[in-house]
Chain A
Amino acid sequence: MTMRYVGLFSGLFLLIVGVGLFMGSPFTVRLMVEAFAFALIAMGLNIQWGFGGLFNFGILGMLMLGGFGVTFISYPVNEAFWVSNGPAMLGLTLLAAVAGAAMIILAHNVQRVGITGKWRGMVIVLAWFVAYILFRSQMDPAASYIISQSGWVGGLGLPVLLGWAFGGLLAAGIGFFVGKVSLGLRTDYLAIATIGIAEILRAVIKNVEWLTRGTLTVSPIPWPVPNPQTFQSWGYDPASSFIYARLGFLLVVVGVVVVALFLIHRAYNGPWGRMMRAIRDNHVAAGSMGKDVTRRQLELFVFGSALMGIGGAILVSFVGIYDPSSYQPIHHTFVIWVMLIVGGAGNNFGALLGGLLIYIVWMLSEPLAQALFQTLSNFSSDMGWGAIPDISSRSVQMRVFVLGLVITVALRFAPKGLLPEFVRRHD
């Protein structure tokens, strides 16, 4: 088993070195930063699916929340907003929201004054409706006022690392509610519920222009380490400034991943992890032994969401632009599933390996496909059949196909992944 770990990780290392030789250092360092961020997200999914068997198809929503978190915390302050009436109007909106929430909570408790059954249901629906109208009556003018006066709310201008933490916290907080409402569902229902919630989140984040600038996108989002422009102002030439700046970023990200891996692995091997696996394998038995199944599953969901949020925040601050419309289910949910399934669900090192490997495959299938099509195109034009049109836009699509193939092949021939979960037996 150890040989397998050593072999696979050294193979991965050789692959990275090979990529570095062929594609150049700036590309490779960028690739590695993003690959480690995706590995962190895959580890988050491993907590949910590998430890607890919780099916989460809403990873995209968590990444968007993380990205929003770092944008909000670290983007410079927008003075025009803070001197306008905007904060006061947002305060009123918050009051309306609190009033609405109080109304809904009261309506859910009307059975105490003797209103039950059908009537209680009607009161609840009515309360939701009134609360919604109340909220919209404050929210809509505030939103259009902020957009017309100051564009959007702006950031807080705080350190980026704080933004990453806030992104994780935000994702964990929303993950708590998502888990609270949906964890009672069976696996495929849970998948559809989480994907539905993620789509709702995506629609909201894309359209609340006053808070996120929506489709107008936010940039540049600062880096936690000196960025290439800073290096250039210190007198480095552009090429090496990119390498040094990205190397600095890579160090920070690898640090985060190592800390997370250490903590998760300790938790996995400890009593807590054993309890989680017991719940995953037979939640009825675990429940009868006195474990609070729903609560433990909620814990897993929240922890996993936090890691996904941090990963999403890292990706956004590395790219330097927050574009809510760039999030796609394939690129931000399904790819991560491929990573975990190929790497090995239930194994933290498997999640790390899968995350790094699949991201490299994902990014490399584009240039490889381009080379392949170019060769084919040259061949066909030599034969007098004409060249293949739009090679560059077509080869981008190859990676979606390649990943689909990878996951179906993996499910058929290695369903436990490259590094299967290690089951210790005490006979």
Chain B
Amino acid sequence: MNELVFFFNQVVIGGVVLGSIYALGAVGITLIFGILRFAHFAHGDMMTLGGFITFILAAIVAGFGIAFPLPTGFVVLPLAMGIAAVLALGIDKGFYAPLRARGAKPVTLLIASIGVTMMIQGLIRLFFGSSTRSFFDGEPKKLIRIDLPFEGVTRPISFTEPQLLLVVLTAIAVIALHYFLTRSRLGKGMRAMADNADLARVSGINTRLVVRVTWVIAGALACMAGAMLALDVSLKPDLAFNILLPIFAAAIVGGLGHAYGAIAGGFLLGFAETLAVFNWAVLLRPFRAALPDWFEIPGSLALVQSEYKLTVAFIILVVVLLVRPTGIFKGAST
């Protein structure tokens, strides 16, 4: 049984945590793609930026000597998300809106987003250097252990407090987004515009407002994902740039432009990565007695070595692009 708990800790918890991060990022990318029709490469750095905004706010709050029962970085998150949303609007106004107004092709916007990526990355490193920071210098990172009431189980199910908060927050964000998209007038307008922008415009939907709301949602979600990722591991300037591609992979696997697909794609990739690097030999060992003698359990029975963990996402991405470029869910490609 201990082995099963180990499996649960490694694969299920790891997959859910990774999947939540991917899902939060992929929703933003997929919304921007659906409304504005371009692959927004600066999204990873918007996540990092969100992480740093949260870090500064947390440092300020901690400087006043105020303590909370929850991690400080988590408490200041709503404010940070607001700031990130304003920044996202500013980035759109400054760099993308003029190009759109000129009628530039989506590819031009894509290249512009590369420029924005470089600028954000340069600025972050300019001000914060390239060192690694932690939210938990001043307060402990709580570890939650749940002992199982079964006989012979000594290993507890364990995860950290930020991981729990991340999963809860992702669930809330996903449900809120679902209600926004299906129930509110603006959300319906967004879906209409993602379907057919011209038709949406002639039927009286305020497309400018829709674009602005898209950036607000994408910016806030990116900030949330970045801050929670930084709380879970640590805050580095290249934090999110490294997972930008898995996030794109998640968005594409779910079908670019489909918000629910992006969430499913995120979790799919998260689980695929943890499953691929899991050492299956651990699960075989209790059955040693039942197996024939000639069968020797190898030391490592992982599908890929752990150095290639991120590569799993890229391979899934490439395979999905080749076999089903519209994503694994049925639906029109936008």
**Chain A contact residues, CB within 8 Å of chain B:** 55, 181-182, 185-189, 191-193, 195-197, 199-200, 203-204, 206-207, 329-330, 334, 337-338, 341, 390, 393-394, 397-408, 411-412, 415
Contact A203:B308 (CB < 8 A) given known A189-B325, A196-B249: yes
> In the complex, are the beta carbons of A188 and B245 less than 8 A apart?
no
> In the complex, are the beta carbons of B311 and A200 less than 8 A apart?
yes
The docked-state distance in angstroms from the alpha carbon of A191 to that of B107 is: 10
Report the contact-size class of chain B (Cβ under 8 Å from the partner): 35 or more
A199 contact set on B, CB distance < 8 A: 245, 310-311, 314
Is B16 part of the contact surface with A, judged by Cβ < 8 Å? Answer: no
> In the complex, are the beta carbons of A197 and B129 less than 8 A apart?
no
The docked-state distance in angstroms from the alpha carbon of A55 to that of B33 is: 17
> In the complex, are the beta carbons of A191 and B110 less than 8 A apart?
yes
Residue of B nearest to A194 (CB): B318
Is B104 part of the contact surface with A, judged by Cβ < 8 Å? Answer: yes
Partner of B121, one of A181, A337, A400: A400
4 smallest beta-carbon distances between A and B, as pairs = A401-B122, A404-B118, A404-B119, A400-B122
Partner of A337, one of B106, B111, B315: B111
> In the complex, are the beta carbons of B119 and A185 less than 8 A apart?
no
Contact A400:B125 (CB < 8 A) given known A192-B321, A407-B111: yes
> In the complex, are the beta carbons of A188 and B110 less than 8 A apart?
yes
Contact A185:B114 (CB < 8 A) given known A199-B245, A207-B308: no
> Can you show 18 pairs from A to B with CB atoms below 8 A apart?
A185-B321, A188-B38, A188-B106, A189-B325, A191-B39, A192-B252, A196-B317, A200-B311, A200-B314, A203-B311, A334-B117, A337-B114, A398-B122, A401-B126, A411-B99, A411-B111, A411-B115, A415-B102
Most B CB within 10 A of own CB, among A182, A192, A406, A412: A192
A207 contact set on B, CB distance < 8 A: 305, 307-308
Q: How distant is A130 from chain B, measured CB to nearest CB, in Å?
A: 13
Q: How distant is B129 from chain A, measured CB to nearest CB, in Å?
A: 6
Residue of A nearest to B305 (CB): A207
A189 contact set on B, CB distance < 8 A: 252, 321, 325
> In the complex, are the beta carbons of B108 and A415 less than 8 A apart?
yes
Is B74 part of the contact surface with A, judged by Cβ < 8 Å? Answer: no
Most A CB within 10 A of own CB, among B106, B107, B121, B314: B314
Partner of B99, one of A206, A394, A400, A412: A412
Is B78 part of the contact surface with A, judged by Cβ < 8 Å? Answer: no
> In the complex, are the beta carbons of B317 and A401 less than 8 A apart?
no
The docked-state distance in angstroms from the alpha carbon of A191 to that of B115 is: 15
> In the complex, are the beta carbons of B311 and A193 less than 8 A apart?
no
> In the complex, are the beta carbons of B317 and A193 less than 8 A apart?
yes
Is B290 part of the contact surface with A, judged by Cβ < 8 Å? Answer: no
The docked-state distance in angstroms from the alpha carbon of A421 to that of B127 is: 39
The docked-state distance in angstroms from the alpha carbon of A82 to that of B314 is: 35
One digit per residue, 1 when the CB lies within 8 angstroms of any chain A CB and 0 when it does not, for chain B 19-58 equals: 0000000000000010000110000000000000000000
Which B266-297 residues sit within 8 Å CB-CB of chain A? none
Which B114-143 residues sit within 8 Å CB-CB of chain A? 114-123, 125-126, 129-130
The docked-state distance in angstroms from the alpha carbon of A207 to that of B245 is: 19
Q: A187-B107, A191-B110 are known contacts; what are 12 more A-B pairs with Cβ within 8 Å?
A: A181-B322, A185-B321, A200-B314, A200-B318, A204-B311, A329-B241, A394-B129, A397-B130, A400-B125, A401-B119, A408-B115, A412-B99
Q: How distant is B152 from chain A, measured CB to nearest CB, in Å?
A: 33
